């Protein structure tokens, strides 16, 4: 459902053997850049764009839209924005754009664990 929203290109949902659901999200660069320009969000690079308060709030609002449509137990409690797209060349997705979970866990393990710390 997240992937159908205009500001999100890709999302990896994490929750297997976890207490709650989290997500790694890749923003739709073109739409988010337009949003940033329209709302005078200051940034210098793609990485700095995804760290702005306005963009994080924008994506949080998108996640909330999805959460309202699904069962509470399925709600995404935390998310992190990735500063790059998922690529076949990097081994993150298959040629048909299916996520390679092991590669994602290997590459973003620290970021994933950070979402579950203290819980």
Q: What is the largest CA-CA distance in the chain?
A: 41
Question: What's the pLDDT at 35?
Answer: 97
Question: What's the pLDDT at 91?
Answer: 86
Question: What's the pLDDT at 61?
Answer: 97
Instruction: Give CA angle at 5 (25, 11), nearest 5°.
Output: 20
Residue 53's domain is classified under what CATH number?
A: 3.30.300
**Whole-angstrom distance between the N-terminal and C-terminal Cα of the chain?**
26
Does 40 have pLDDT greater than 90? yes
Range of the domain at 24: 2-85
Split into its structural domains, the chain has a count of: 1
Percent of the chain with pLDDT over 70: 99
DSSP-H helix ranges across the chain? 29-38, 46-50, 53-67, 101-116
Is 44 domain-assigned? yes
Does 36 have pLDDT greater than 80? yes
Q: Decide: 77 and 21 in contact? Cβ < 8 Å.
A: yes
């Amino acid at each position: 459902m997240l992937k159908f929203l205009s500001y999100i290109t890709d999302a990896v949902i994490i929750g297997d053997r976890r207490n709650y659901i989290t997500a790694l999200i890749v923003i739709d660069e073109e739409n988010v850049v337009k949003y940033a320009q329209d709302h005078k969000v200051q940034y210098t690079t793609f990485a700095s764009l995804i760290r702005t308060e306005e963009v994080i709030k924008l994506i949080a609002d998108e996640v909330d839209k999805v959460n309202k449509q699904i069962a509470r137990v399925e709600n995404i409690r935390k998310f992190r924005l990735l500063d790059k797209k998922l690529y076949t060349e990097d081994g993150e997705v298959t040629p048909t754009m299916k996520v390679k979970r092991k590669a994602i866990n290997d590459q973003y393990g620290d970021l994933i664990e950070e979402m579950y710390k203290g819980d």
